[in-house]
Amino acid sequence: MECIEIRGGKPLYGTVKLQGSKNAVLPMLAGCILHPGVSRLEHCPRIRDVQDSIRLLEALGCRVWWEGSCLAVDASRICTWKIPEEIGARMRSSILFLGALLGRLGKACLPYPGGCVLGARPIDLHLEGLRKLGARIEESASCIRAEGERLRGTEISLRFPSVGATENILLAAVLADGETVIRNAAREPEIGELCRFLQEKGADIRILPEGEIIIRGSARLQDSRHELAADRIVAGTYLLAGAVTGGRVTVERMPFSHMEAVCEVLKETGIKLEKNGASLTADGSGGYCGIELLETAPYPGFPTDLQSPMMTLLSTARGTSRIRENIFESRFKIARQLQRMGADITLTGREAIICGIPKLRGAEVEAFELRGAAALVLAGLQAGGVTKISGYRYIYRGYEQIFESLKELGADIRQEPVSQRRAAFVKGLPEQAGTQSVTAKG
């Protein structure tokens, strides 16, 4: 295991260009197998979740290759409906192949999905929706098996607007007989983009203003090329990096229409936002203040994926803030690590009370999931002294070349093998001032 070392306290300045959306591309990669031909995804991010999806597609018999920043998938020769456990169990989005395999082959077998540890992430809504389409599903201790040679359209009302369940039902319904109506569907931008991707393949899909999605089953799909929208979560992370360091960072290719809630929260803290064409600049040189309540919610509310990075910002804001997490009950894992850096955070159930301090201090901390890793990187950039983050590789699941981009903005970041740290400890060398050891916990 290695750690990343950040010498913080330096304002960041400069411009970054956004990658394609992680949360949009993963269901599209599952959707590629619906058509026995070639699908191309322009502006595809080279992140670990995409690489894992490529391995999964290749295990199913697909041919996958890069054409510059475009990823091409030829699914004409799928040879199995079983997803290997060593691949499927490590990624949350593997569950989306359940609906896609049912749609293409009428059968599917996959391990329970993995991904970040964020508390209960049940798949019951996925399975309920697929069963209503006519799939027969059996769950064992190790895997999920599904059969449905002739899926039939129906009306499905989701109890919660789950993004993953909406995507899985969409993927299964595209080739089903008749019409499928999804009520209380998720409204995240990534849902709309998945629908456009499938429409470009010839699918008959309509999204109604009330949030309903209507799918008329198609006999077959066609080759397609789709350009991915920019990643709104990565955009928010870089804007926060500029603000939390008291610097000025410009993000190009901004998905403005998808970030209204995020921009409103940043403005509420006093961060200056300047729009210039397709770019947005966050200026934190004037400081920022706490907010009375930040509450995560399904789109168009504030995204849970930016809650941890916002916790870092509010830890150093003037005044007291309150965060209420309504999506994942374990999103507050980052709080204990920020406390090691001096943050004043009190947790009560799904709420966090944060009393801002002027400066965090460098420490040894550990990341346990993707967005928490991003939050700790932001904390290290703001903190005085040296911050060492183990488990930082989670960040590669969703951020393309983030450390290279931060270095170009002026960050002092380097990678350090753990063996060097252990050797220093054995020799009795003093630790950096302001750091403290952390015992790793799984």
Q: Pairing between strand 213-216 and 224-227? A: unpaired
Mean pLDDT of 94-116: 88
pLDDT at position 88 is 84
| Cβ contact 37:74 at 8 Å | yes
pLDDT at position 419 is 52
Question: Exposed/middle/buried for 264, CB within 10 Å: 0-12, 13-18, 19+?
Answer: exposed
Global pTM value: 0.91
Asked whether residue 114 carries a pLDDT value surpassing 80, the answer given is no
Tens digits of residue pLDDT in 271-284: 999 999 999 999 99
| Cβ contact 35:105 at 8 Å | no
Greater pLDDT, 3 or 86: 3
| Cβ contact 133:159 at 8 Å | no
pLDDT at position 309 is 97
Asked whether residue 117 carries a pLDDT value surpassing 80, the answer given is no
**Per-residue three-class SS string for 344-413:** EEEEECCEEEEECCCCCECCEEECCCHHHHHHHHHHHHHCECEEEEECHHHHHHCCCCHHHHHHHCCCEE
Mean pLDDT of 227-256: 98
Report d(CA 166, CA 125) in Å as an integer: 9
pLDDT category at 162 given cuts 50, 70, 90 is very high
**Closest residue by Cα to residue 90 from 51, 126, 64:** 51
Annotated catalytic residues are 116
Greater pLDDT, 243 or 430: 243
Mean pLDDT of 407-413: 98
The answer to which of 216-220, 221-225, 273-277 has the lowest mean pLDDT is: 216-220
Q: Sheet with 155-157: list strands edge to edge.
A: 155-157, 179-183, 213-216, 204-207
Q: Tally the residues of the chain.
A: 442
Sign of torsion over alpha carbons 36, 42, 45, 46: positive
Backbone Cα Rg of the chain: 22
Q: Pairing between strand 224-227 and 272-276? A: unpaired
pLDDT at position 124 is 92
pLDDT at position 433 is 32
Report d(CA 164, CA 184) in Å as an integer: 13
Question: Exposed/middle/buried for 132, CB within 10 Å: 0-12, 13-18, 19+?
Answer: middle
| Cβ contact 310:294 at 8 Å | yes
Per the listing, tokens 């080739």 go with 175
Type of residue found at 18: L
pLDDT at position 436 is 30
| Cβ contact 366:341 at 8 Å | no
Task: Classify each residue of 93-122 as buried b or exposed e, where b means 16 or more C-beta atoms within 10 Å of its C-beta.
Answer: bbbbbbbbbbbbbbbbbbbbbbbbebeebe
Mean pLDDT of 8-20: 98
Tens digits of residue pLDDT in 295-344: 999 999 999 999 999 999 999 999 999 999 999 777 799 999 999 999 99
- For residue 426, the tally of other CB atoms under 10 A from its CB is 8
Share of the chain above pLDDT 90, in %: 85
φ/ψ of residue 108, rounded to 5: -160, 145
Report d(CA 16, CA 252) in Å as an integer: 6
Tens digits of residue pLDDT in 290-305: 999 999 999 999 999 9
Element holding 87 (H helix, E strand): helix 85-88
φ/ψ of residue 251, rounded to 5: -110, 120
Report d(CA 310, CA 267) in Å as an integer: 13
- In angstroms, the Cα distances linking 309 to 193, 266, 303, 378, 419 are 25, 12, 11, 7, 29
Tokens of 351: 């709420």
Mean pLDDT of 228-248: 98
Asked whether residue 423 carries a pLDDT value surpassing 50, the answer given is no
Element holding 90 (H helix, E strand): none
Which residues, at least 6 apart from 423, have a Cβ–Cβ distance to it below 8 Å? none
Asked whether residue 63 carries a pLDDT value surpassing 50, the answer given is yes
pLDDT category at 118 given cuts 50, 70, 90 is very low
Share of the chain above pLDDT 70, in %: 92
Report d(CA 343, CA 317) in Å as an integer: 11
**Closest residue by Cα to residue 87 from 52, 117, 35:** 52
Asked whether residue 438 carries a pLDDT value surpassing 70, the answer given is no
Q: What is the mean pLDDT of the chain?
A: 91
- In angstroms, the Cα distances linking 125 to 122, 131, 161, 315 are 8, 10, 9, 36
